[in-house]
């Protein structure tokens, strides 16, 4: 069983759109911008033996604001341009009451089962309260990249609170013994 770093998509790997201090995903594949630090940060984690898995809520599919085919194109691009193992996505809205929508841990649990991941040795990195709470519920250590959004903070304290993906990676590597 391998350790993993689970990563939220928007605000961690992809530039979010801010509207009145609240984050929103890109509205189309053409608007999606991979953050410049994402590749080097993920490569550092990969060199230390981590599997890298995106776990992302994308309720705009259920809301009819983005087509499933466009969302797939975005994720294909992420897989082509970044050293990722997989992308797990919840396309539901809160009213669907599914098990995969963060803050529930369904996406992380599915990835762990499918990819043979050790959740106790894994980390969840996200910029919203839902990410931190999903990571806790799955039994991972959590890193909150606090972007200062105008929304509530995590109800469960993260293991680390940082300002960037690079800081998150540095903290994870300080917590993870070198693999032989």
- Is 96 noted as a catalytic residue in this protein? no
According to CATH, the superfamily of the domain at 4-175 is HAD superfamily/HAD-like (3.40.50.1000)
8, 60, 127, 131: which is the annotated catalytic residue?
8
User: What is the signed CA dihedral for 165, 11, 138, 67, rounded to 10 degrees?
Assistant: -140
CA distance 174 to 65: 40
pTM comes to: 0.95
Q: What is the pLDDT of residues 147-167, one digit of tens each?
A: 999 999 999 999 999 999 999
pLDDT in the model for residue 95: 87
For the chain, give the percent of residues with pLDDT over 70: 98
- Is 118 noted as a catalytic residue in this protein? no
Q: Domain segments of the chain: what residues? A: 4-175
What's the whole-number mean pLDDT along residues 125-140? 98
């Amino acid at each position: 069983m391998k350790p993993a770093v689970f990563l939220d998509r928007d605000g961690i790997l992809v530039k979010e759109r801010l509207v009145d201090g609240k984050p929103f995903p890109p509205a189309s594949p053409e608007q999606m911008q991979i953050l410049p630090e994402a590749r080097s940060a993920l490569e550092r984690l990969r060199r230390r033996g981590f599997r890298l898995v995106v776990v992302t809520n994308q309720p705009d599919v259920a809301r009819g604001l983005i087509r499933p085919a466009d969302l797939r194109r975005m994720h294909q691009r992420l897989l082509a341009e970044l050293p990722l193992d997989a992308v797990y996505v919840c396309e539901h809205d809160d009213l669907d009451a599914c098990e995969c929508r963060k803050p529930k841990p369904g996406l992380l649990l599915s990835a762990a089962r499918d990819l043979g991941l050790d959740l106790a040795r894994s980390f969840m990195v996200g910029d919203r309260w839902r990410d931190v709470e999903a990571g806790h519920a799955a039994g991972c250590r959590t890193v909150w990249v606090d972007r200062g959004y105008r929304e509530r903070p995590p109800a469960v304290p993260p293991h680390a609170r940082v300002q960037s993906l690079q800081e998150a990676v540095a903290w994870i590597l300080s917590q993870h013994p070198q693999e032989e």
